[in-house]
Amino acid sequence: MSALTNIIKEILAIDPMAQEMEFEQHWWTWADIAEAVEAVDSALKDAGLMAGTRVGVLLRNRAECVPVILSLILSARCIVTLNALAPEQKLAEEIISLELPVIVGLSEDLARPALTQAIESAGIAHLALSPRFAEAVRLEGIAQTVSENKRHRAPGIAIEMLSSGTTGEPKRIPLKATTFERTLLGAAAFEKGRKAGEPPKLRNGVQIVSAPFSHIAGITGVKDNAPIAYAFLLKEYFQLR
């Protein structure tokens, strides 16, 4: 087990009933997040999608997406980032080109006509998220676990992240799990008042995190009390304790 997964598990267990994440005036406790993390993992396991599987995630600045990211990190699956704000047809074409075995996203995004057609035509299994998704999470479609398609797996890769696209078409960059962990743990070194080797603890204040998770800057928003957080729109944001 890596140092990063150990830290995330420790944080989840510090105070399960403490409020951690607020979105649209609803607070999620650490217990809520932990339950959702387990629900995602169980759904993927039941479909035979184990460590190393490439999982497409339609990312928005919604609380439901945070446990998905944590679950994939903890289970050593590969996160393939998809910007849910991209034009529908372009996003559908990208989904097909990626040859993913499974995709996770908000129910309203998966219901967009072009995306629905792309997912069905490519035979991609899909997991729809809702505000209460931890209560009944199951995979729809066909999980292509017996396929010979080598693109379904990316062992040792934590995330396939899109570049900013400032100098041309965005490129998809595979980030090794070891590099990903060093990046996150390195960012934690700048935490005010933190001592090396000190166990994680929850903060008392509230923090607004606005960096987009579709970019590496969002991922390095890791804190002792908020392992992963992101936002996409200025008018929509998370409050994190």
The predicted-structure confidence for 62-100, as pLDDT tens digits, reads as follows 888 888 989 999 999 999 999 888 899 999 999 999 999
Reply yes or no on whether the pLDDT at 139 is more than 90: no
Q: Which of 67, 30, 5, 7 minimizes the C-alpha distance to 189?
A: 7
Structure tokens at 129: 């998220």
Q: Please name the residue that has the structure tokens 């899909």.
A: 126
The DSSP secondary structure of 225-240, one letter per residue, reads S-SS---S-TTS-EEE
What does the pLDDT average to over 18-24? 81
Q: How much is the pLDDT for 178?
A: 92
Report the distance separating Cα 188 and Cα 114, nearest Å: 40
Rounded-to-10 torsion of CA 224, 31, 181, 163: -100
Model confidence pLDDT, tens digit, residues 94-137: 999 999 999 999 988 999 999 999 999 998 999 988 766 655 56
**Domain ranges, residue 31:** 3-240
Number of domain units in the chain: 1
Structure tokens at 109: 């995004």
Kindly report the CATH number assigned to the domain that includes residue 122.
3.40.50.12780
Q: How much is the pLDDT for 57?
A: 93
